[in-house]
Structure 1
């Protein structure tokens, strides 16, 4: 019975999102309510309130962090900080290795900024670079996409990894460290594909009919952009603080300032400090008053609101599946089929991604299902950080026409649908799959205790 509830509820969620175009928040909440109705531990009269309670629990865990991360990304985008970071990487590599500067920009910027937004920022820079060099356009695109997509799915505080970490009980600092390693390896494989397709490209010049003046816009912003060090600070500070707390906790260090380090390294505190810095950067570069700053923040918080609602609805869905016993039943099936948990996580996320298009929804839903397996107390499970990252790899595997990112890349890169399939779809598949393989190897070499 629990597996029937699991499969039927997942099919219902996919149908609502992919076919009926119901918003993911409503689809996931309806899925959670459906499962609650068939959970033996939830009385019929309490099904709706129990679902709402779990919704609130997830909001409490990740709501503030997602909101603050959105503010940081919004401020970086509109202050010129993101453009300054890209320019800094380009200065380091030079035009001969410009693809590596584009990769590094995508890799770093997609940690605090949503991937779609990063590509909006980077696409004019890619086009301008191609106009200067006259070659390597496929390589420039693949390098940027590989770097940005990898950190988007593997490294918090982007919403998907952040929500999965909260769902599966993974320390955020550990997830940042391990996710960065996996994203590095996976994205390098994506860059390697870029080199391969670049030598075989027969797609012509996609910018031949585009007015070159369109691509000059980002350079103009640098005159008012913050300094390089200031631009990097909102990105680096929370990573350092959160990682410090993780090291402190893992090694059980005791010293006079340990409590202060733990306080500053709490994700809510670290991202709050970073958001204050990012908003101050935007205020200085745009000449805003404090009143203007409040209005400015509304755009970021509006974007975050939708993500928080999706994440919380997905968390409620997972909690109801756990109450229904779906996780334990799925664990028994996987054990009977001798299917490793990491492979199960990867395949489930990949199937959900193909079915409904959103990596974030695929990650949250899969993590919610696996939460039940970990809650069952089954022995021999890998550390949940590896399950989290395996899901991340699967959520990137297939990007096609039901993925909004597919169309953003197609239009901003001036690519036909056919060429988008040749460039972006393989990069996503290779980055996600190689990332998953790295996760498997790490789980063997560094078998952390759950």
Structure 2
């Protein structure tokens, strides 16, 4: 659907958006209304307030909901299946033990973050987070303390790569709109993304972990039971995996019986979706850049394999037969394991979809267009203008991708007139991506994904995830601004 012609001026639309966010927070935090119901209700009221034709409102609501649900539901479902298989076979414990032995307890958050940076280069934020979740939870269980100490470095790494580094679609689209080089954008975006993560995420994760003792949620993987149906505590799982107090890994068993899979096997299962998804993202970038011709059969086939739900489905099938089937007596027993993983994530999927509904209503209301028209000529430095516009669009309508691509389109004329060159154009892309990263809140479907995956309420998510996203974006912008000034 296309945005409607705004019925109000920019100021009135911003007041409606602010009122909708305030009402949503009140209903969830004070009234304690379920987040899914609150999001749908506020989306409906907002659609009425901005004067959508009443007959069109159901389609408006479904636009954001179905779009988000279509991308999230399959991804989360296959992701938690893979995570559950790694959990109950002892694979997640094997990988966690290896990380602990190699890096030690104090550097475990850094190790998770570095691994997420590598995985996050070709893989989207939400897909990477889903695949990495069992590893994060297992390491956190091993050492105790706040989950945020281990979760935020990994989540921040995926967010940094997704926002700043081609071949992710946001920076690629922005570079194309500004007439820049995707290769130079890659060479500039990756180092800035890594440094911004280290400066803007790692210290914040330690601070947040000290202030917010977030417990490890059991909603995703629930209680681990052995083949006789007996509940196994985390201590038992660690003991059977052969993990001593010094973190050394040894032999042991899994909840399904038998020894856990080897480190090489677990690494293969994690690398498989990484490689498959790379087919899609990298080939799409090469086609966009004109290096490959569109419509070639082999390109389309590899792109299909690299479609995120397809890649995760293939990985789940491989995991079923590689680590699951050898440890059970029948496929029926294994099907019960993955079926148990699906029930708890229904709420996550629905709430994330409703978050997309709310953001979709704001986007279709025309608030982005009105705001863009008002800010297109701020009379300040182009790179500062790009950051401010992207930030305001991000806050107003929630979608980082929309904020990024819209901002790039708005300033493309000014960028062409300035004749910036590839390096400065890449810095401009970084500034836009930084603005599109900060202040993730309740109109962003990613906010709800993080909130539910990490078992945090909305208030805690605002105080942790939103703050971390902001420090990440600001760190990237400051570096881009500094380089802009000296080049």
TM-score normalized with structure 1 length: 0.65
Candidates 291, 296, 309, aligned match of 2:337:
296
Deviation at 1:228, TM superposition (A): 0.9
Candidates 65, 74, 98, aligned match of 2:75:
65
Give the whole-Å Cα distance in 1 for the aligned partners of 2:174 and 2:307: 14
Deviation at 1:325, TM superposition (A): 1.3
- Mark the CA change 1:387 to 1:71 in structure 2 (over 3 Å): closer, same or farther: farther
- Partner residue, 2:364: 323
Superposed CA deviations along residues 138-165 of structure 1, whole A, max 9, x for unmatched, are 9xx8863553342465467xxxxxxx97
* SS of residue matched to 1:378: helix
- Partner residue, 1:220: 240
Superposed CA deviations along residues 18-45 of structure 1, whole A, max 9, x for unmatched, are 22222222222222212221344x3213
Q: Does 1:104 align with 2:142?
A: no
Q: Does 1:251 align with 2:286?
A: yes
Candidates 136, 139, 153, aligned match of 1:147:
153
Q: Does 1:32 align with 2:52?
A: no
Superposed CA deviations along residues 82-106 of structure 1, whole A, max 9, x for unmatched, are 211122223334x4xx433443246
- Mark the CA change 1:191 to 1:313 in structure 2 (over 3 Å): closer, same or farther: closer
* SS of residue matched to 1:99: coil
Deviation at 1:229, TM superposition (A): 1.6
Assess if the C-alpha contact under 8 Å between 2:174 and 2:404 holds in 1. no
Q: Does 1:378 align with 2:410?
A: yes
- Partner residue, 2:246: none
Higher helix share: 1
Assess if the C-alpha contact under 8 Å between 1:345 and 1:366 holds in 2. no
After TM superposition, the structure 1 = structure 2 runs for residues 12-51 of structure 1, keeping only pairs within 5 Å, are 12-40=23-51, 42-51=52-61
- Partner residue, 2:328: 287
- Mark the CA change 1:287 to 1:388 in structure 2 (over 3 Å): closer, same or farther: farther
- Partner residue, 2:213: none
- Partner residue, 1:309: 350
Assess if the C-alpha contact under 8 Å between 2:403 and 2:436 holds in 1. no
Candidates 95, 101, 105, aligned match of 1:91:
101
- Partner residue, 1:433: 471
Superposed CA deviations along residues 230-274 of structure 1, whole A, max 9, x for unmatched, are 112232222222223222222234477323222211212212112
Give the total of aligned pairs.
378
Assess if the C-alpha contact under 8 Å between 1:67 and 1:304 holds in 2. yes
Give the whole-Å Cα distance in 2 for the aligned partners of 1:196 and 1:266: 37
Give the whole-Å Cα distance in 2 for the aligned partners of 1:153 and 1:277: 27
Give the whole-Å Cα distance in 1 for the aligned partners of 2:364 and 2:469: 35
Assess if the C-alpha contact under 8 Å between 1:170 and 1:385 holds in 2. no
- Partner residue, 1:56: 66
- Partner residue, 1:121: 138
After TM superposition, the structure 1 = structure 2 runs for residues 294-443 of structure 1, keeping only pairs within 5 Å, are 294-335=335-376, 340=385, 342-343=387-388, 366-367=398-399, 374=406, 378-380=410-412, 390=435, 392-395=437-440, 429=467, 433-434=471-472, 436-438=474-476, 441=479
- Partner residue, 1:360: none
Structure 1 unaligned residues grouped into runs of 5+: 128-136, 157-163, 202-212, 353-364, 410-419
TM-score normalized with structure 2 length: 0.60
- Mark the CA change 1:405 to 1:295 in structure 2 (over 3 Å): closer, same or farther: closer
